[in-house]
Amino acid sequence: METPNWKPTDEEREIMEVVWMQVKGACEKLKEETNAQNEHITKMLQEMADCYYS
């Protein structure tokens, strides 16, 4: 069964942009305060997405 393509509204797109900026800022802070590299942060975000949205 194929799911239809989702097309966000302007409001949803704006919310996603705000959330993305918050995530990006948190990732940069994590990199500054620890020895985490991009691949570590990528893996962490993927694990979180899998946990909450799978």
pTM of the model: 0.73
Which pLDDT score is estimated for 7? Answer: 93
Which pLDDT score is estimated for 53? Answer: 83
Give dist(CA 43, CA 19) in Å, integer: 19
User: Residue 25 is which amino acid?
Assistant: G
For 3-41, the pLDDT digits (tens) are: 789 899 999 999 999 999 999 999 999 999 999 999 999
User: Is the pLDDT higher at 53 or at 22?
Assistant: 22
Which pLDDT score is estimated for 1? Answer: 57
Helix intervals (H) in the chain: 10-33, 38-53
Which pLDDT score is estimated for 4? Answer: 81
Cβ neighbours around 17 below 10 Å, total: 10
